[in-house]
Structure 1
Amino acid sequence: MKSKVIKGISFLLALDLVFLLAFAKSYSTLTLFPPFFYAHDVMLLIMVLLCIPYFKFSPRIRSIELLFLMAIFYLIYSFFNPGIENVEIILRQFMIFGYGICLYVIMKSVFINKTIRKNFAQSVMYFGLACVTVQILYIPFVFLYEGKNPFFERWYFSPIIMMGIFILASYILLNVKDKLLKNILFASVFIVSFSTGHDSTYLSLSMIYIAYLFVVSSRNHRIILTMSLFIAIVLVFYFIPSFTDVNVKWRLLFWKDSLLRIANNYFIFGDGFGIPYGTEETIKNLNSLYPDVPKSPRIIGDEIYLTAPHNSFLSMAIHIGILSIVFLFYPIKEFFTNKSLRMDKEILFLTLSLFGMVVFCAFNVILELPHSSSIFWIVLFGLIFKLSEKIGIPSDE
């Protein structure tokens, strides 16, 4: 019975990812129970309820559990804060951690199954392949039926496709043996990424490739690679306008305000949930960067609570302090201290995939929203559990 339920939950999790890919925001923003129970959220809640009888804390991931306990404490605090009254806003902001809590319960429950554990990395790869395949099929549709140039504009079929691109690119680097074919396939994925219209997508792919070279190279080659990377960064900011345009200025202004806010809280504390993401002066300065025309990204009304600083990790720190970022990534420290783990293809594949997502999240609003945050948490927890498995911490059967 237990095995069947766990497999059923795994099927629902896979189905949820398929729906996020196939129906995109039509699925993640579909309200089933007003005012804020959306289809994706309800699916996660159903899986969590099914997991509860089979959930075991052992083996413990204490930093992750501490992170989520902090988030829940701040959530309770926000409900009793007299200056914060909008329950819907409080819950929407909390979901930057709420999605992670749901996926932690789900992943910890399904990973007790030996078959699921064994095939996890391969399943993640298939999802990445599905994302890239869908986008490849969508490109000619945009060109032929929309009559638009499908490249360098935001023509991604679903927001989760960018995450799939990072996954497949990482898999290609680690599992295609022929160097020429490896680079051709990686370049092909890179070209497909141009149809997403996100500079941060190209940046994330570039960082994945550089990180791969850094891991597999000798020490002398790493020094050369580091110097080349520094020169490349300077050239990118000098020759590519999109890395110095108004969007970059908008982010830098918002990030500066966020960092000052975090510093004013001594880095340790947060402001809780249901709060404006920027000060009144900063919002005014951000809006001044764009003309007052239809569809300009101006922050007005309730948008002050919904428009985050386009860096999911800064958003975390604003809500509950900088320790949230430390606790989030602490469990993967073994990858950096254990050479044998870095050379393990499965571990390195998941790490590179996660690295690409982290870079992308550092420039966009990702973990705050339901559209593509699930796959981030799935890969993160899968990597953590795999690291525990490789270093000899037993999993419950």
Structure 2
Amino acid sequence: MLSLKIPRNQLFTLLLFFIITGLLLFGMGFSKFQVVGSLYLHDLLLLLVTFGSLLHFKRYFRFPYLLPIVFLSFLYLGYSLLICPQNVGFIFRQFAFFLYFTCSYLIFNKVADSTPIETFIRFVIWIAKASVLLQLGFHAYHFSQGNFNLLDDYNYFSPLTVMGIIVFAAYILVYYRDGLNKYLLFGFTLALSLTLGHSSAFLAVFVLFFVLLLIRVSRTAKIIILSATVLAMVALVIFIPQFTDVNSIWRLKYWAYALNIVFTENFGLLGQGFHHPYASQAFGYELYNQLNSVLFIDKVKPDMRYLSPFHNSFISLFFHIGFLPGLLLFVPYLKIVKYVRHRNRYYDKDTEFLILALTGISVWVSLNVILELPHAALFVWLVYFTLSEKWKKMSL
């Protein structure tokens, strides 16, 4: 009789990889598969794995600087439920960012004890390679059906595929030897990102080449490259229509509105919690009058002021718990600066891959609603915590 024996200390790692693979292969068919009521399959599995991780918890938290984010988010959640119990559905929808973050944090605390960091890196690379193949297959299928259009909006196999292609570009830049093949393949990946229907995906891949140069060259060259990168990004914004269209202007106005709340009303310290609408009715009518947007008009879309965050997941973080507490999330990013300054001492190819992967992902996250949704958030946090674990092992 055949039996499949899985080592207990690897079970949670396999479950984590299973959920992320499900997101890649089935997309919203997995993340939005309704089990009962408003409980979805992805969320159910994630909660079960999280609770299972807690049963074997060793009373030790990696990255303790992140604990205030967890505690504050649950404190604001309790306060919001107490103040507005009638809006419990909206409250938990707004809390999703912190739910996925906390679950990922607790699971990683468990799996990092028993799983070599190289396993996480190999899995991230596997997701990246699979994303490219799936996207090519997606385009080939539509071409065979006669409805092939590379410039359609949302032109991707699954939401995680977009992120995988960004990470694949990082993989090419770090692990391939310098030469024609490397730059042709990177150019191919850059071109593939143009077919996804998101200009921000192209931008996320585009900046990786300059980030790699910043990591590897001398201090003087860093200044030159940084200046060139800024000029190149300004040129992209000016000359590529997607960066100056109505959607981009709408996004900038929404960011300015949110940041005014974060810094002016809450002094950069307090958060709004989870019971406030993202946009006021007055702001909704302002967008309608200036840009003909009805997204926040209650008579047209009555719930969207509560359910449509800022198309920048980092601003969502600051909005809910405050700017200063939210900055704790960026501690691993600060360590990138230290690594670059002392690269000769710390050089590690896997680390540079994770730096590029997280940088590209962060560009994508800062221009879209990503961490608030289940479709790819778990993968983002896997890359984030894997790099954080690298810093820990390197004593950075």
TM-score (norm 1): 0.92
Q: What is aligned with 1:216?
A: 216
Structure 2 counterpart of 1:231, one-letter code: L
CA distance in 2, matches of 1:77, 1:105: 23
The answer for the alignment partner of 2:148 in structure 1 is 148
Identify if the C-alpha distance between structure 1 residues 342 and 158 changes in structure 2 by more than 3 Å, giving closer, same or farther: farther
Q: Which amino acid aligns with 1:194?
A: L
The aligned residue for residue 379 of structure 2 is 375
Letter of the 2:119 partner, please give it.
Answer: N
Distance of aligned partners of 1:358 and 1:57 in 2 relative to their CA distance in 1, 3 Å threshold: farther
- Contact 1:258 1:318 (8 Å CA) reproduced: yes
What residue in structure 2 maps to residue 395 of structure 1? none
Report the alpha carbon displacement of residue 27 of structure 1 after superposing the two structures with TM.
Answer: 1.1
Hey, what's the Cα distance between the residues in 1 that align with 2:325 and 2:349? 29
Q: Tell me what 2:312 maps to.
A: 311
How has the CA–CA distance of structure 1 residues 289 and 131 changed in structure 2, closer, same or farther, with 3 Å as cutoff? farther
What is the rounded CA distance, in whole Å, between the counterparts of 1:309 and 1:251 in structure 2?
7
Q: Residue type of the partner of 1:195?
A: T
Q: CA deviation at 1:317?
A: 0.9
Partner of 1:6: 9
Aligned-partner SS, 2:48: helix
Aligned equivalents of 1:307, 1:288: Cα separation in 2: 19
Q: Write out per-residue CA displacement over residues 196-255 of structure 1, whole angstroms, 9 at most, x where no aligned residue.
A: 110100111111111111111122322221232232233223322221110111011101
1:28-107 equivalent positions in 2, closer than 5 A? 28-34=31-37, 36-58=38-60, 60-82=62-84, 85-107=86-108
Structure-2 separation of matches of 1:318 and 1:332: 20
Q: Secondary structure at the match of 2:311?
A: coil
- Distance in 2, Cα, partners of 1:136 & 1:148: 12
Deviation at 1:323?
A: 2.3
Q: Kindly, what percent of the aligned residue pairs are identical?
A: 32
CA apart distance, 1:152: 5.2
The equivalences for 1:176-195 within 5 A come to: 176-195=176-195
Q: 1:165-222 CA distances to partner (integer Å, 9 max, x unpaired)? A: 1211111111101322211111111111122110100111111111111111122322
Question: In structure 2, how many angstroms separate the alpha carbons of the residues matched to 1:230 and 1:11?
Answer: 41
Counterpart of 2:303? 302
CA deviation profile, 1:17-76 (whole Å, cap 9, x unmatched)? 111111111111111121x21100001011112211322343541221111111111111
What's the C-alpha RMSD, in Å, of the aligned pairs?
2.0
Amino acid at match of 2:281: E
The separation in 2 between residues aligned to 1:201 and 1:128, in whole angstroms, is: 14
Amino acid corresponding to residue 335 of structure 2 in structure 1: E
The structural deviation recorded for 1:3 is 8.0
Moved more, 151-160 or 264-273: 151-160
Residue 32 of structure 1 aligns to a residue in which SS?
strand
**For residue 285 of structure 2, what is the amino acid of its counterpart?**
K
Once the two structures are superposed, the pairs formed by residues 206-245 of structure 1 within 5 Å of their partners are 206-245=206-245
Matches of 1:324 and 1:316 in 2, distance apart? 9
Q: State the TM-score, normalizing by the size of structure 2.
A: 0.92
Unmatched runs of 5 consecutive residues or more in structure 1: 393-397
Q: Does 1:138 align with 2:141?
A: no
Q: CA deviation at 1:260?
A: 0.8
Shift of 1:151: 3.5
* Structure-2 change in CA distance of 1:342 and 1:335 (3 Å): farther
Q: Count residues in correspondence.
A: 385
- Is the 2:23–2:376 contact (alpha carbons within 8 Å) kept by the matching residues of 1? yes
Moved more, 236-245 or 191-200: 236-245
Question: Bigger shift: 302-311 or 139-148?
Answer: 139-148
8 Å Cα contact 2:170/2:208 also seen in 1: yes
How much does 1:290 deviate? 5.1
- Alpha carbons 1:139, 1:195 under 8 Å: kept: no
SS of the counterpart of 2:35?
strand
Letter matched to residue 354 of structure 2? L
Per the alignment, residue 390 of structure 1 pairs with 394
Q: Which runs of 5+ in 2 are unaligned?
A: none
SS class of match (2:278): coil
